[in-house]
Every structure is written in structure tokens, then in C-alpha cells.
A and B are shown apart, each in its own frame.
Chain A
């Protein structure tokens, strides 16, 4: 019989046991089939659920893999931001060059008219 105690709430759980060494047999002789569970259920759980650390090799390897993924995750954002900047630059450049060309044509026409103000057609 295993016996656990909650804080302030004794609880019993029975469990069949194989007949063990002398200590167990002696108890069975007085009607208790197995020794009582020492301590409370809390203690038993604390003993069972001991902290377990990951192996250092696993920990280091995972850190490297995460760092590689993090770098990869970071770089595409920069690439995605570039195209709009290029497009805007191209548009502004095209508009400026068109304006300069148009201004040049207008200037040439204006100059010609200024040099030959009223030449009548022959």
C-alpha cells in the first residue's frame, strides 16, 4: 500500500506489490502488504520531476541554426524595400529629363523665331 498525504488531506492509494525482501515480508506478516510511501505526494512528485537540462551540444547547435534563420529572416526585408525606391527614382529621373528636353526644344524654337522675326514666305 502506498500512502500519500496532501497538505491537510490524507489520501491513500493501494497498489499491489511483489513480495520483497525481509523488510517487506515482516510488514506483510502484520497485515500491511507493502511499506508506506515515505513523505507526501508532493515530495514524491518533486522527486520524480527533477529538472533536466538539454545537452550542451544540442543547445549550441540549435542556437547556431536559429541565428542562421534569423539572419535569413532579416535580409529579405531589405530586398523588399529596395524596389519602390528604385521605381520612384526612375520616375523622377524620366520626368526631369523629359522636362529638360522639352525646355531645350522650346528654347531652340524661340531662338529661331527671335533671329528671323518676320521673314515673309517667298
Chain B
């Protein structure tokens, strides 16, 4: 089904809209968690799909899902974005945290906010691949095998990377002490 959609989009760019409808939420979600604010997430999501549309003729199906190709485009754009903005402040994830804590007591909210802030800071210090892994795992709910397809690694390598990522998170939080 997906292969047919990709073939249609290659032959007729107007058919690309179906692929867009299918993946826009996932790509936006991924980018949002990588950049931490709505404005840049929208800008980079738009760039991802424009780039995909202009390069779909060169897309080669190597057995991985089409989403893997989109995630790679998004990943590269986010990497460039981070490179261009070495010193940057991001606060938008706080909105998500406050939404999560909205039903708790003020004291619990404060605690939850502080914990989340510490974790978020630690996560921001991780390398791009590790951040990508966490986002795909937790926001997309993808399995190690699926993440491996997107990141071009084996399932075992992803499992190992995930474990090292959690250890690195702990290390970052210790250093923030």
C-alpha cells in the first residue's frame, strides 16, 4: 500500500498529498521534541516535506519504510538548525509539562516540573542520535527494530544504544548537580 503511494507520488507529484497526510503528524512531533518550540517545529516540518517532494524522484526503496526516509531528512535539517543556533533558549516543552501536571496539586506540580526540567536539560545534552532514539521510542512508540530501520542500524545496536543513552542521561544529571 505504502509502496503504491510512493510510486504514485513519483509519477504524479500531486499524489504526494496522501503521503503528507499520513506522516505530517509524526514528523512534526519528532521535530518538535528535537527543537523544543512550535515556531521552529513548523518551519522545519515544512522544509522536510518540501525537500521530500522535490527529491522523491531520487527516492530508492531499500526495504525500509518511507517514513525512515522522511525521518532522515528531518534529522539532517534539525542537525543543521542546531548548528546554526549554538546558543539558543527553548522553553516550549514546559507547556507540555504543565499540561501533564495540570490535574495534580500545586506541590506535586512543582515537583513534577522540577523533575521534568532536570530530565529535559539532561536530554538536550545528549547527542543527536540519542535524542532521536528517545523521541522515536517514546513519542512514536516504535520498536527497536523499527527504530533500527529509520536510523540504519540493527535491532541489537539500537538496544545497546538505548541502554547507553539511559546511562548517559544519568551521568548528565549527576553533572548538573
Which residues from chain A sit less than 8 Å from chain B, CB to CB?
Answer: 2, 4, 6, 9, 11-17, 20-21, 23, 35, 37, 41, 44-55, 58-59, 62-63, 65-67, 69-71, 73-74
- Contact for A21 among B107, B123, B176, CB less than 8 A: B107
Q: Are B46 and A70 interface neighbours, CB within 8 A?
A: no
Closest to A74 in B: B13
Contact across chains for A49 and B134 when beta carbons are under 8 A apart: yes
Q: B16's closest neighbor in chain A, by CB?
A: A70
B177 at the interface (CB under 8 A from A): yes
Compute how far the CA of A12 lies from the CA of B167 in the bound complex, rounded to whole angstroms: 10
Q: Mark B140-177, 1 if CB is under 8 A from A, else 0.
A: 10000000000000000000000100110110011011
Sorted from nearest, which 10 A-B pairs have the closest CB atoms? A70-B13, A49-B138, A13-B173, A54-B28, A73-B13, A13-B170, A49-B139, A70-B14, A52-B32, A11-B170
Of residues 52 through 87 on chain B, the ones whose CB sits less than 8 Å from some CB of chain A are 53-54
Inter-chain contact A63/B139, CB cutoff 8 Å: no
Q: How far is the CA of A65 from the CA of B123 in the complex (A)?
A: 34
A16 to B176, CA, bound (A): 9
Give the interface residue-count category, chain B: 35 or more
Chain B residue with minimal CB distance to A72?
B13
Q: Kindly identify which residue among B46, B110, B139 contacts A65, using a CB–CB cutoff of 8 Å.
A: B46
Can you list 11 A-B pairs with a CB-CB distance of less than 8 A? A6-B167, A9-B163, A16-B177, A37-B115, A48-B123, A50-B99, A54-B41, A54-B42, A59-B28, A66-B50, A70-B17
A9 to chain B, nearest CB (A): 8
Which residues of B have CB within 8 Å of A15?
118, 173-174, 176-177
Residues of A within 8 A of B50 (CB): 66, 69
Q: Which residues of A contact B25 (CB under 8 A)?
A: 53-54, 59
